[in-house]
Amino acid sequence: MDLRKRTQWFLLTVPVLGWLFLSDVAVTASEWPMFRGGPEQLGVAVGPLPPKLSLAWSFETGGPVKSSAAIADGKVFIGSDDGHLYALDLKTGVKIWSFQTADTVEAPPMYLDGKIVVGSRDGFLYCLDARQGTRIWKFETQNMVLGSANWVHAPDRSRKCIVFGSYDRKLYCLRFETGEVLWQYGTENYINGSPAVSGDRIAVGGCDARIYLLSALEGKELAVFDTQSYIAASMAFDGSRAYIGNYGNAFYCVDVLKNETVWKYSLRNFPYFSSAAVTKDRVVFGGRDRMLHCVRRDNGEALWTFRTRGKVDSSPVICGEEVVVGSEDGRLYRLRLSDGSQVESYEIGEDIVSSPAVAQGCVAIGADDGRVYLFGPKPQ
């Protein structure tokens, strides 16, 4: 049976309305402007989803879609291993424009003030006009850029700056308007994930096994914490505590201000690549043990696990009382946050490494079959 004619699946209404404030930026239910939803990368959606969702459209690219989407300005922005960044109409899935780079686009794009900022495996960070897809500037690093960019206010708050990591072992801060380097910070190995920003601090993990806390204004090192195994995931950061897993089969909550472990979770001998979703009392993250894990935020005590049939590198999104996440078993899952029980799943059929983007009652996600999928309200 054709995928678009398969059984519809359902999501419960999310009892959250209004605004969510992260790092001085208001994230609304109408947008998911960057990886994990906002600068702190907490992975929590805002606004209700309809009681029933169905496949609204799918769009075929020329390669696997490992990038995660941004949703803004009525568009879905997402990269593909075919080397393009795509802007798709949110309602119809029709391509509005595409921008070609010299290699795969695995990095999630970021929408900011009418512009798109995205990295490529070709070693460049690009800034594009979000309406037309034309290049405004590009910045060259010495290796590939696989993580999402983030942003922070300049000291006088008159302008914004872009922060991102590269496989050239550096974290960069650029002037948003021009791409000019403001500062750079060197680490001991690749930076695969995305830096998280809270206020005037940046937290980022590296393949040198370390969590770095830096001043966002000048790139000054404030603290370094060693997790003993390399980190490929992106950070969730609430301003004082960083949440991240490593390849040493451990997931950490670190008080970066005190430079000490708050708790450490290790259930089985499998790495953690998925980034965490963090609420006021829970932390949810995927593992290469084929499980989604939920623990208490205060002490890391296990609350529940949910087993899939493939690795869970996809990063979960919390929508009210539910969790949405993809798995390399080719399914998109909807679970209850309270106990991890399955509400429903939707079978795409190919590996899902991409993470969900949730906005306007819709869920956008990519898959290794080369398609971008959008699940929206069931037509009346």
Residues 17, 29: contact at Cβ < 8 Å? yes
> What is the total residue count of the chain?
380
SS3 breakdown of the chain: % helix, strand, coil, rounded to 5?
A: 0, 45, 55
Name the one residue in this structure whose structure tokens are 């998911």.
32
CA distances from 123 to 118, 167, 168, 207, 215 (A): 11, 8, 9, 17, 25
* Residue 342 φ/ψ region, left for φ over 0, alpha for ψ in the -120 to 50 degree band, beta for the rest: beta
Helix or strand or coil: residue 5? helix
pLDDT at 171: 98
* Distance between CA atoms of residues 138 and 128, nearest Å: 9
What does each of the 380 residues of the chain score in pLDDT, given as a tens digit?
A: 344 333 333 332 333 333 333 334 444 678 999 999 999 999 999 876 777 778 999 999 999 999 999 999 999 999 999 999 999 999 999 999 999 999 999 999 999 999 999 999 999 999 999 999 999 999 999 999 999 999 999 877 778 999 999 999 999 999 999 999 999 999 999 999 999 999 999 999 999 999 999 999 899 999 999 999 999 999 999 999 999 999 999 999 999 999 999 999 998 889 999 999 999 999 999 999 999 999 999 999 999 999 999 999 999 999 989 999 999 999 999 999 999 999 889 999 999 999 999 998 899 999 999 999 999 887 65
Phi then psi for 83, rounded to 5 degrees? 90, 5
* Distance between CA atoms of residues 193 and 23, nearest Å: 19
pLDDT at 306: 98
- Number of other residues whose CB lies within 10 A of the CB of residue 350: 17
Domain count, the chain: 1
pLDDT at 28: 60
Structure tokens at 46: 């805002």
Amino acid making up residue 166? S
pLDDT at 191: 98
Sheet of 52-60: strand order equals 9-10, 52-60, 371-377, 362-366, 357-359
CA distances from 95 to 35, 99, 241 (A): 21, 11, 40
In terms of Cα–Cα distance, which of 151, 83, 87, 161 is closest to 123?
83
For 5, counting Cβ atoms within 10 Å of its Cβ (0-12 exposed, 13-18 middle, 19+ buried), the class is exposed
* Distance between CA atoms of residues 294 and 305, nearest Å: 6
* Distance between CA atoms of residues 76 and 302, nearest Å: 35
Structure tokens at 5: 């004619």
pLDDT at 23: 39
Residues 232, 210: contact at Cβ < 8 Å? no
Residues 70, 53: contact at Cβ < 8 Å? no
- Number of other residues whose CB lies within 10 A of the CB of residue 335: 22
The domain containing residue 153 runs over which residues?
A: 3-377
* Distance between CA atoms of residues 200 and 98, nearest Å: 34
* Distance between CA atoms of residues 320 and 162, nearest Å: 30
Structure tokens at 257: 């201000």
* pLDDT tens digits along 119-128: 999 999 999 9
pTM (2 d.p.): 0.92
Q: What is the CATH number of the domain that holds 71?
A: 2.130.10.10
